[in-house]
Chain A
Amino acid sequence: MGEPTAGQAPVHDVIMVGAGPASLAAAIYTTREDIETLVIEKGAVGGMAAITDWVDNYPGFPKGIAGLEYAENLRAQAERFGAKIDYGEVTDIRDEGKYKRVKTAEGELLAKVVLIATGTDYKKLGIPGEQEYYAHGVHYCATCDGAFYRDKRLVVVGGGNSAVQESIFLTRFASHIDLLVRSDKMRASEVLQRELRDKHADKVTIHFNTTTDEIVGQDGKVVRVTGTDTTNGQKVDFPTDGVFVFVGLKPNTEFLKTTSVELDEVGLVKTNERLETSMPGVFAAGDVRSGATMQIASATGEGATAALRIREYLDEHARQHEN
């Protein structure tokens, strides 16, 4: 802890909100320079990377690496230099000049600097049956829940990298997968599409121009998905035992909506080129930042950049407040 207390709240040099690749990379840099750093995470350390089956494009790993293993490596490296990772949910950030007041469900903390790196989460479809059958046939994490579908039929919804990557993962378990893609082509990288086509065509049927309209259950279990073939308006039916949804990402910025941290039109955090947000002393990095490329390599790079800017800010903070 940087200082014991200011009033009643513990004071930290840096609080990082979220423990994904951006903040863990930043924490490696800050703690290695003896800048006291607390990282607060409400979900999985490693963020979306941790729940991704396989990371194939992170530089320095010629054979790729399991997402969970990569996340564990990041955590271990940050902790080796002294980063402290706590579990909790940040609900508010207030600018009080010398310190930022960070509210969590457990209490309040103060920090000289805050890094917002809360990343994104999978979007919901918002269709009938989705909420009702959540974790009972409707899922958003293949690496968590895929094992329950050995020799079962599945529907996967989405056409991006996550949908294709997780479909490939789910072929380990499922007897057959219907992949429903709303448009006439997939947004996934050509490498992933080729792997799906060349290695998994026997198990995965891709349905282009197909909306997902309803998840239908019977006796507490998902039994089918109904959709529409948009080329002719005909209803289509997919018998299934479960549905995995990967239809894009939404920023984890709900807690910022009543703060002075400015968000863009889709809820991502706006920053300048120094990764500073509109609240002085509050930085943002990684997928949650407006303009981010949603790549792990970019997130770690932004984390390193943020850490260097944070060090400069702390030097200035010391000149202003400690003389």
Chain B
Amino acid sequence: MVKNITIFTTNTCAYCAMVKRWLDAKGHNYEVVNLDTNPERQAEALALSGALTVPVTVVTKHDDSKEVVIGFNLAKLAPALV
């Protein structure tokens, strides 16, 4: 079960918009961390994903385990939300 969802994004990232739109369509709420306006949180995104890219979607489960999905990758994102 999903406890919360956080998406690391930037203003210009098309794939970020795709992730948000897909989550909207599925009725999920999520927190957005915009790295253009919060550059101090880049290190957090990097530590979670291990990659210098956005979007990074972090799905936190009720047992506080996390699944991290890089990019607009529905093959990984959809199962992470079950």
Total interface residues on A, using CB and 8 Å? 28
Complex-state Cα separation, A50 to B17, whole angstroms: 10
In the complex, chain A residues whose CB is within 8 Å of the CB of B54: 144-145, 147
Whether B53 and A139, one on each chain, are in contact in the complex, defined by CB atoms closer than 8 angstroms, is yes
Whether A67 and B14, one on each chain, are in contact in the complex, defined by CB atoms closer than 8 angstroms, is yes
Whether B17 and A135, one on each chain, are in contact in the complex, defined by CB atoms closer than 8 angstroms, is no
Whether A135 and B70, one on each chain, are in contact in the complex, defined by CB atoms closer than 8 angstroms, is yes
Task: Given A135-B70, A150-B39, answer yes or no on A145-B14 (Cβ-Cβ < 8 Å).
Answer: no
Complex-state Cα separation, A240 to B53, whole angstroms: 17
A 39-77 to B, binary, CB cutoff 8 A, 1 in contact else 0: 000011110001101000000000000111001100000
Using CB atoms, name the residue of chain A closest to B39: A150
Whether A44 and B22, one on each chain, are in contact in the complex, defined by CB atoms closer than 8 angstroms, is no
Whether A44 and B15, one on each chain, are in contact in the complex, defined by CB atoms closer than 8 angstroms, is yes
Task: Given A44-B14, A144-B13, answer yes or no on A87-B53 (Cβ-Cβ < 8 Å).
Answer: no
Whether A145 and B12, one on each chain, are in contact in the complex, defined by CB atoms closer than 8 angstroms, is no
In the complex, chain A residues whose CB is within 8 Å of the CB of B52: 135-137, 139, 145, 148-149, 242
Using CB atoms, name the residue of chain A closest to B75: A105
B 30-55 to A, binary, CB cutoff 8 A, 1 in contact else 0: 00000110010010001000111110
In the complex, chain A residues whose CB is within 8 Å of the CB of B46: 148
Closest CB of chain A to B7's CB: distance in Å? 13
In the complex, chain A residues whose CB is within 8 Å of the CB of B57: none
Closest CB of chain B to A18's CB: distance in Å? 14
In the complex, chain B residues whose CB is within 8 Å of the CB of A87: 18, 22, 74
Using CB atoms, name the residue of chain A closest to B21: A45
Whether B12 and A143, one on each chain, are in contact in the complex, defined by CB atoms closer than 8 angstroms, is yes
Closest CB of chain B to A148's CB: distance in Å? 4
Whether A136 and B15, one on each chain, are in contact in the complex, defined by CB atoms closer than 8 angstroms, is no
In the complex, chain B residues whose CB is within 8 Å of the CB of A143: 10, 12-14
A 123-158 to B, binary, CB cutoff 8 A, 1 in contact else 0: 000000000000111010101111111100000000
Complex-state Cα separation, A137 to B36, whole angstroms: 19
Task: Given A43-B72, A135-B51, A136-B51, answer yes or no on A50-B39 (Cβ-Cβ < 8 Å).
Answer: no
Complex-state Cα separation, A66 to B17, whole angstroms: 14
Complex-state Cα separation, A144 to B72, whole angstroms: 11
In the complex, chain B residues whose CB is within 8 Å of the CB of A169: 12
Among A72, A141, A148, max chain B CB count under 10 A is at A148
Complex-state Cα separation, A136 to B17, whole angstroms: 22
The 4 lowest CB-CB distance pairs between A and B, nearest first, are A50-B14, A143-B12, A44-B14, A135-B51
B interface vs A, CB < 8 Å?
10, 12-18, 21-22, 35-36, 39, 42, 46, 50-54, 70, 72, 74
A interface vs B, CB < 8 Å?
43-46, 50-51, 53, 66-68, 71-72, 87, 135-137, 139, 141, 143-150, 169, 242
Show 27 residue pairs from A and B whose CB-CB distance is below 8 angstroms, ordered by the A residue.
A43-B18, A43-B72, A44-B72, A45-B14, A50-B14, A50-B17, A51-B15, A67-B14, A68-B14, A68-B17, A71-B14, A87-B22, A135-B52, A139-B53, A143-B12, A143-B13, A144-B10, A144-B15, A144-B54, A146-B12, A147-B10, A147-B42, A147-B54, A148-B42, A148-B53, A150-B42, A242-B52
